[in-house]
């Protein structure tokens, strides 16, 4: 039948549910209904953050700075260390003074050896941005964070300029602004603030300045007796006064001058302390500068003090443990004094020229002034000043600096000048970072942009790298520049890194240029046309303006196009570099143009002569022969 009593039911019984019996010998788990559930994949950053809490808690338990640094290195992801700084400080903010002091000691110890200055700055910026949320759970978060920042400045792991620079990343209503104000006015402006901040959380340095000086003298004398550099470095580190290391430098150099037999040991110690990052570049320079101030008094007891000191400075600079930009004024003879005065006057003049250029945007005038100065040996100094000033300004000035450098490289400065200028910048990168928060990143962009603009050849980066010490801050910046310049679409990105571009597609830009020139050709005002070209915001693409203007001049026999180019060049809108590129592109396409414009070559020759006569093109610019 059809499923009645005593039957097996219908062939296909749709009304009866099928149940799986897991005790059935024929049970097959594959027949179980299942649903695929997507397991969330963790990102490297999430994994990194999860590991931080364990590392920090372990540090609070053991106080082992060395092990914590090792654990952090094992994590890898150096670019994520800003999150370590943020987590470390935020966890300590709600704990006892002991943990707060431990955090300051750890940050100071890992600075330059596990934690880069950039990552520390970024970590504190993140804390400033998050302080509103932190204040919900930690009532005194604003004051505590202000203390951490002030302590970091005293410990030389944050530059004083950080207090002003960080404001740009905060909203007007942010409590982060209160933090910066308290740090500057309540803590860093107080008399003897360094000592007070060092002791605020019960740090181990409950000693007076005189006591610190005595300990420094004792450890240096002990070092001269036993010659154990590693032990001396350990003792300096244990003093836990990184903000006072200039005193170590001053006393060490003085001892070296008093006892010529000890000079070799002193040089060895200072070099080792510098290479280990124990004594920062700024503290080293400060120590040497303090000696200069007391050289006259030292000469009463050590007649050869000035000559000894100058010899030591030369040795320190040549070995790389004293910044090459250091000038030991007062320790040199009259000839060197004259050179220093000459250089000082040049620097003052260069700064004035650069400021004037940023106001006028007049490249030809600046080049004329440089030629009139007649000091080509100082061209690298001008480059250093130009980039340093631009780094501390807005994107407009940074773009203007790159455009100017491109023009100078074609008309006035040699490749050697530019390489030397960038070497000077990289050698002083660590000190520049004390005043300019993101100096390392900005300098990396300038270097990469110089490669894209053909101001530097890629091989020049290798040449620069061979001169720099391998582990210095400048070497890291150079590696960053290499990465930026070799990245995919690097040209377009770097040419727009400071807002030089608008993000338009190339075809859109070409179309806009064509319409602009057509409107001008039909009776437009030259001033308005120049304004439109400037407002396009694509100075790196102005060679297209030159090319299209020249072709339109050929096709329509309109000399007004040359008048427009003349005005653009005179105002500095189109540089000699862009003008040359534009003329070169027309020259390369002359054979095709001649199919539609029979006298294209003759016209182009006349335009080239016109350009050379008016200074748009270098005299050596040639016209390719017809093929």
Identify the pLDDT of residue 620: 77
Second CATH level (architecture) for the domain 44-199: Alpha Horseshoe (1.25)
Q: What is the mean pLDDT of residues 221-239?
A: 90
- Flag whether pLDDT at 42 surpasses 90: no
pLDDT band at 490 (very low <50, low <70, confident <90, very high): low
pLDDT per residue as tens digits for the range 188-216:
877 667 667 766 776 543 455 567 788 89
Write the burial class of residue 438 (CB in 10 Å: 0-12 exposed, 13-18 middle, 19+ buried): middle
Identify the pLDDT of residue 146: 93
Identify the pLDDT of residue 209: 59
Which residues does 87 contact at the CB level (< 8 Å), separation at least 6? 49, 52, 53, 56
* Residue 397 tokens, joined: 């000035």
DSSP track, 54-79: HHHHHHHHH--HHHHHHHHHHH--GG
- Flag whether pLDDT at 230 surpasses 60: yes
* Residue 90 tokens, joined: 């935020």
Q: How many CB atoms lie within 10 A of CB 285?
A: 19
pLDDT per residue as tens digits for the range 497-518:
666 544 444 566 778 888 889 8
Identify the pLDDT of residue 627: 38
Identify the pLDDT of residue 12: 45
Helix (H) or strand (E) holding 613: helix 600-613
Chain-wide mean pLDDT for the chain? 80
d(CA 492, CA 496): 6
- Pick from 111, 183, 471, 177: which is nearest to 88 by CA? 111
Identify the pLDDT of residue 346: 84
Radius of gyration of the chain (CA): 33
Return the higher-pLDDT residue of 331 and 551. Answer: 551
Identify the pLDDT of residue 19: 61
Q: Do the beta carbons of residue 211 and residue 251 sit within 8 Å?
A: no
Question: Within 536-589, where are the H helices?
Answer: 542-556, 560-570, 576-588
Identify the pLDDT of residue 625: 43
pLDDT per residue as tens digits for the range 6-18:
444 444 444 444 5
Model pTM score: 0.36
d(CA 616, CA 613): 8
N residues, the chain: 627
Q: Do the beta carbons of residue 322 and residue 288 sit within 8 Å?
A: yes
Q: Give the three-class secondary structure for 7.
A: coil
pLDDT per residue as tens digits for the range 337-357:
556 667 778 888 888 888 888
Adjacent-strand bridge partners of 111: 115
Identify the pLDDT of residue 542: 82
Phi and psi angles of residue 111, each rounded to the nearest 5 degrees, phi first: -60, 125
For the chain, what are the domain ranges?
Answer: 44-199, 209-328, 335-495, 506-613
Q: Do the beta carbons of residue 421 and residue 460 sit within 8 Å?
A: no
Domain 506-613 has CATH 3.90.1300.10: no
- Pick from 106, 109, 193: which is nearest to 147 by CA? 193
Identify the pLDDT of residue 340: 65
Q: Do the beta carbons of residue 618 and residue 410 sit within 8 Å?
A: yes
**CATH of the domain spanning 209-328, picked from 3.90.79.10, 1.25.40.180, 3.50.50.60, 2.40.50.140:** 1.25.40.180
d(CA 421, CA 222): 42
Q: Which long-range contacts (C-beta less than 8 Å, at least 24 apart) are formed by 451-455?
A: 451/481, 451/485, 452/485, 452/490, 452/491, 452/494, 452/495, 453/402, 453/405, 453/406, 453/409, 453/540, 453/577, 454/406, 454/409, 455/405, 455/406, 455/409, 455/418
Class of domain 335-495: mainly alpha
Q: Give the three-class secondary structure for 620.
A: coil
d(CA 569, CA 561): 12
Identify the pLDDT of residue 605: 92
**Triad 547, 549, 551: Cα angle to 5°:** 70
Window from 88-92, 222-226, 430-434, 557-561 with minimum mean pLDDT: 430-434
Q: What is the mean pLDDT of residues 366-377?
A: 85
pLDDT band at 1 (very low <50, low <70, confident <90, very high): very low
Write the burial class of residue 207 (CB in 10 Å: 0-12 exposed, 13-18 middle, 19+ buried): middle
Evaluate whether 44-199 and 335-495 have a shared fold: yes
């Amino acid at each position: 039948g059809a499923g009645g009593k005593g039957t097996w039911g219908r062939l296909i019984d749709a009304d009866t549910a099928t149940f799986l019996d897991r005790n059935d010998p024929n049970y097959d788990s594959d027949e179980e209904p299942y649903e695929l559930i997507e397991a969330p994949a963790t990102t490297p950053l999430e994994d990194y953050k999860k590991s931080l809490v364990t590392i920090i808690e372990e540090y609070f338990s053991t106080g082992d700075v060395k092990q914590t640094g090792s654990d952090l290195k094992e994590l890898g992801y150096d670019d994520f260390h800003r999150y370590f700084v943020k987590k470390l400080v935020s966890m300590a903010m709600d704990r006892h003074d002991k943990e707060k002091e431990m955090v300051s000691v750890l940050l100071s110890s890992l600075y330059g050896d596990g934690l880069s200055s950039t990552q520390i700055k970024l970590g504190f910026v993140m804390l400033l941005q998050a302080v509103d949320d932190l204040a919900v759970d930690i009532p005194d978060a604003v004051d505590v964070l202000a203390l951490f920042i002030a302590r970091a400045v005293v410990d030389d792991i944050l530059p004083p300029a950080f207090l002003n620079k960080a404001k740009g990343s905060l909203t007007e209503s942010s409590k982060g602004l209160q933090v910066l104000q308290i740090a500057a006015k309540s803590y860093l402006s107080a008399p003897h603030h360094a000592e007070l901040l060092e002791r605020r959380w019960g740090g181990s340095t409950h000693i007076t300045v005189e006591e610190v000086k005595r300990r420094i003298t004792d450890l240096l004398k002990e070092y001269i007796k036993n010659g154990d550099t590693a032990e001396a470095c350990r003792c300096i580190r244990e003093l836990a006064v990184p903000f006072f290391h200039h005193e170590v430098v001053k006393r060490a150099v003085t001892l070296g001058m008093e006892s010529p037999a000890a000079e070799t040991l002193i040089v060895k110690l200072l070099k080792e302390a510098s290479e280990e990052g124990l004594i920062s570049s700024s503290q080293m320079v400060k120590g040497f500068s303090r000696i200069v101030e007391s050289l006259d008094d030292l000469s009463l007891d050590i007649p050869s003090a000035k000559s000894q000191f100058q010899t030591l400075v030369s040795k320190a600079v040549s070995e790389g443990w004293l910044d090459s930009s250091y000038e030991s004024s007062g320790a040199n003879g009259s000839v060197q004094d004259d050179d220093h005065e000459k250089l000082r006057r040049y620097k003052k003049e260069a700064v004035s020229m650069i400021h004037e250029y940023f106001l006028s945007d007049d490249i030809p005038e600046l080049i004329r002034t440089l030629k009139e100065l007649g000091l080509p040996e100082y061209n690298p100094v001008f480059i250093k000043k130009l980039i340093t000033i631009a780094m501390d300004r807005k994107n407009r000035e940074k773009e203007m600096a790159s455009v100017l450098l491109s023009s100078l490289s074609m008309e006035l400065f040699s490749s050697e000048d530019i390489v030397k200028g960038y070497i000077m910048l990289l050698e002083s990168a660590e000190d520049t970072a004390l005043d300019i928060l993101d100096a390392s990143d900005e300098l990396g962009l300038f270097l990469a942009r110089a490669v894209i603009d053909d101001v530097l050849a890629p091989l020049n980066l290798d040449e620069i790298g061979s001169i720099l010490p391998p582990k210095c801050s400048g070497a890291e910046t150079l590696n960053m520049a290499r990465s930026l310049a070799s990245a995919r679409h690097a040209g377009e990105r770097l040419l727009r890194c400071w807002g030089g571009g608008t993000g338009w597609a190339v075809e859109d830009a070409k179309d806009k240029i064509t319409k602009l020139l057509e409107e001008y050709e039909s009776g437009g005002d030259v001033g308005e046309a120049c304004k439109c070209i400037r407002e396009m915001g694509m100075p790196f693409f102005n060679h297209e303006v030159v090319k299209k203007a020249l072709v339109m001049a050929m096709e329509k026999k309109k000399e007004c196009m040359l008048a427009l180019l003349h005005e653009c060049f005179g105002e500095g809108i189109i540089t000699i570099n862009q003008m040359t590129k534009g003329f070169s592109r027309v020259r390369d396409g002359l054979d095709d143009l001649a199919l539609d414009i029979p006298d294209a070559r003759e016209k182009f020759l006349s335009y080239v002569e016109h350009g050379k006569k008016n200074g748009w093109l270098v005299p050596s610019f040639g016209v390719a022969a017809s093929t």
